Chains A and B, each alone.
Chain A
């Protein structure tokens, strides 16, 4: 299995090389080989995922010494999958296939370069989720930027250069800080572990930091450094403005990958690094992050409502939906964290599908303006069927996937607000919860508005010159691009446990430390407040053991010193001596 994992990650790269080397001048051969590559990758992943046992043990691991020297620096080429990365890994390959198929007719200009870049991007995405070494992770993390920069900058719409530059610089600026934060984590561990090895291994660091946690002031600063990169990537309100622009200008395949996968790298980063490695800082920042998430949910939905451009509307809906993912992660209850990771997949399926479908409309009418279109259900019923289905999935219609994720997230958040909120913030948390639930209703408004305007009502087609081919309903390859997404949308909707069960064992420990820190932090103020709020007529809730808030409900891991940073304002001095080993 480890070898298969390695092969899977680099199959797209291999495909890219083959496309470039042998099929450069033949459009048909280019896209066929890209398709074969994508299908092969997906097939291999199906084998990989099918074999995953639902344990907390990493799976298909492989680790070679890579960069390092006798001084103890140990950077390894280390890959593997676990419950957190499993489905995101699979989703990457699924959306790679979709994006190859949606580009089938759309990309005529330099197809060989286009497909090579797309496949390279595929390898990058797979690598990010499989990496188990910080340097390897970061290389893949940055590597995803470059192909997408060219995809947007070369094959995008009218304003593509500005969009590509903004996307690239904005995310790069954030991720440089993230890199510094990750290095600081490595250095702290090096300073405090017993061995002489400076490890870059993610699981080793996670375990190590649980033994000797980073002192509080540094935790906060490191958290903020990681936050810079991940929050921009998500994007968390108000760091989102690069997203609508990049989406609107990107070619369809770029939008699908960007919305479906690249945004998830941000939330994945929080779940992989920030929460388990920096639990106390996480606990400190929880109220702020919840606030920003809910602001993003409502704000994204409102701005989406004001859009006249289909792609921009869906882009803003992503801001809203990613708000739910962040809300779930930082509500830090077992329900919400599971829901959040599931929602990452759901959003990839539904929004990926929506962008693909909008791309199909664009290919036919060369416009994304809502008011230039209408009644397309008459002209393209199959496209309308898929679009409506993706829209319903996106607005969390029960029975489809979006509901499973959002329901878990919101139950978890409700539980946080009503049974385990810090006393000073009970009301704020409750308001946030209600707003987040209301966001679901708002979501239906903008999405149904879009569907009603574009697909229903009297037929209205944008001007297209008579030399263009007549408008046809979906072709075979377009149906093939969208159908796999539908299968998973329905499957997750009716049996989410299949997907949740395989990630559960891994997700438990992810947030355990943070939950413990949170409990401790809240417990310092008052131990009560586990039961219903004051309008309940009972007081039996006080002082209950809070083991259920601990995800996975595991036993307490040894007591740890804890000195929280109460203020985000007082900047501690960063003595570099602490971070660099004194020889």
Chain B
């Protein structure tokens, strides 16, 4: 008998959590270099459970009752807080009781937050993807991290991360989402700073956390605004109150607040997403995050955590649907970020940073897809999230394999021609590059193509999207160029190995090459498989947030003809990019030098990462720092000075009176006599009634 969905929902996060605790407690003393075992086992269990859940959710979703919008179910664990009568019920349109309850809503709503997990199409596909990638990364890391002092610590963090990430995608209210949103941020902080003795690593961890806190500032405000607007923070309908993304509201979209409030909520949510998913203007932390161990870069900073923003915006689709302005912002932010990432990645020499900027750029594509705001756009954004997870994890793990062999060197100028030295890494990396560049039939082609096609479709009713369409094609060209630039610089040319690698640099161990091979196979097939079977979009459409009529009515049926045309164009673009990269980096270096000299200003801008760090330092960091110093000065000199001044008054008063106490008896006697005289005189002359 297979366990039901509620059991699986609890099991999937519970297994990694248990493994984390086991590793944290016994890792240092007992498990030592076996610390990966509990975690890998738990992740295997979670992955199997996720697959079982995926199958069941699919079954349930397809057999759903007709009046239900999409399909969802939820499990309550325990009550986090319940404050009765917390908020005057907002105006009738904005808070709704669940249909079928006749008496309506009370005058005041409770603030009720439960630990509630949910299952639907979106959650189950995210769970399957997250557990699969993390399982492979954990196996890979057992080879990559072998011999590290903090081996057990690494695996206990990984377990904690998978726990948090699975909870994040199965949370069914905004508070819980926020909790695990920050929890994955904590794991990211801990893992970036894993080699905390490196000052750069410690600083990068702090930077990631702080930049994310700026995003979370927006996210928190969005939560508060939703609370005062809708009177609940639940996704689903619960306890007689319609949830924000629940069946009642989806069945009657009039219940969504429009106007300024909607735009404010969406923009604040988007600020949160920008922090987590490294979008402009908060993208600056992700490249620095590459200081962490490479498996972490693959898992957290490419495949899973950074996509949480995309997941959240997709989940909140109904909220964005009532604010076209916010959707335009999403599209624009996505496009700008894609462009920024693409431009900077062109000239980086650090292999991992190229991939990091490429991640930023690809995440930008996903947001562009979401911003298109048709069903096709949103599902293609999610599809790109899905395929990107496989090939970007593959590329990072490949880069890690190179680093492993090169003694930790990531500077592409210091090695080259590694294709004979590391054949498996070479072939798998090539698969990743083809997928990233979007060459048919690799995974990236299908998803990126779907986004570009959706943008082009949208341009029919809003011509402004035509600019985004051309822009997206240009970025696709850039993607292809920088991807193959990195590939050729690493694996082609004359064989060069840095001295750190030692005399016998060799291919990585099996524990690392097996995950690479599996991921390479995925990078080849996942796109084509899901596209050909139309499986992904059809399935993801069963998520309640995407299943309601507003989204579906906005869907323009993508004409297969234009789809083919766009596909042809983008393939052409990708191949041209490849060709340019081959021309520049397979030949002698004079062409590159010439091009660099010709485009000097552009080169400097790109190489300097568009100087975002410097600009932010001048605009924000230094002023705040100065303000802090000034405040401290005010505190010491003005405020405390005033206190001390007041403190000096009593002694000063005493000093005034002190001369009277001379100690001379004659003076006291004289004073006494005078006193008596004055007293008597006063008494005698006092007017009496």
Contact = CB atoms under 8 A, between A and B. Distances in A.
Interface string B67-105: 000000000001111111111111111100000000000
Given A306-B629, A418-B225, A531-B91, A457 B107 contact: no
Interface stretch (A1-9, A264-272, A440-448): A440-448
B84 A553 contact: yes
A501 B80 CA distance: 11
Contacts of A397: 182-183, 186
Interface in B18-66: none
Contacts of A548: 85-89, 107-109
A518 B264 CA distance: 29
B643 interface: yes
A357 to B, nearest CB: 17
B86 A334 contact: yes
A404 interface: yes
B651 to A, nearest CB: 12
Contacts of A496: 80-81
A398 B178 contact: yes
Contacts of B181: 398
Contact of A303 (B90, B180, B199, B631): B631
B261 A547 contact: no
A449 B206 contact: yes
Interface of B is mostly: helix
Interface stretch (A30-38, A278-286, A537-545): A537-545
A457 B206 contact: no
A419 B88 contact: yes
A434 B217 CA distance: 9
Interface stretch (B208-216, B311-319, B328-336): B208-216
Given A241-B643, A397-B182, A547 B87 contact: no
Contact of B260 (A306, A444, A535, A544): A535
A157 to B, nearest CB: 18
A455 B190 CA distance: 13
B639 A238 contact: yes
A527 interface: no
Given A440-B220, A444-B209, A452-B206, A306 B628 contact: yes
Contacts of A398: 178-183
A399 B171 CA distance: 14
Contact of A455 (B89, B196, B261): B196
Interface of A is mostly: helix
B358 interface: no
Nearest to B646: A173
Interface residues of B, number: 71
A434 B220 CA distance: 10
Contacts of A378: 197
B529 interface: no
Contacts of A77: none
A390 interface: no
A236 interface: no
Contact of A408 (B81, B182, B625): B81
B627 A302 contact: yes
The interface centre, meaning the residue of A538, A547, A553 with most chain B CB atoms within 10 A of its CB, is A538
Given A458-B197, A537-B259, A538-B91, A334 B81 contact: no
A378 B198 CA distance: 12
Interface string B151-173: 00000000000000000000000
B260 A546 contact: no
Interface in A429-461: 433-434, 437-438, 440-441, 444-445, 448-449, 452, 455-459
Given A457-B197, A457-B202, A547 B224 contact: no
A540 B91 contact: yes
Interface in A286-313: 299, 302-303, 305-307
A242 interface: yes
Contacts of B199: 456-458
25 contacts: A241-B635, A299-B631, A305-B624, A306-B628, A306-B629, A335-B111, A375-B196, A398-B180, A399-B179, A407-B175, A407-B220, A411-B111, A419-B88, A440-B217, A441-B216, A449-B206, A456-B193, A456-B205, A457-B197, A457-B202, A458-B197, A532-B90, A537-B257, A537-B261, A548-B85
Interface of A: 166, 169-170, 238, 241-242, 299, 302-303, 305-307, 333-335, 338, 375, 377-378, 392, 397-399, 403-404, 407-408, 410-411, 414-415, 418-420, 433-434, 437-438, 440-441, 444-445, 448-449, 452, 455-459, 494-497, 500-501, 504, 530-532, 535-538, 540-541, 544-550, 552-553
Given A546-B88, A548-B88, 6 more contacts: A305-B624, A410-B220, A411-B224, A501-B82, A550-B85, A553-B84
A-B CB proximity, top 10 nearest: A548-B108, A540-B91, A553-B85, A456-B202, A398-B179, A535-B260, A414-B224, A537-B259, A306-B632, A305-B628
Interface of B: 78-94, 107-109, 111, 175, 178-183, 186, 193, 196-199, 201-203, 205-206, 209-210, 213-214, 216-217, 220-221, 223-225, 227-229, 257-261, 264, 624-625, 627-629, 631-632, 635, 639-640, 643, 647
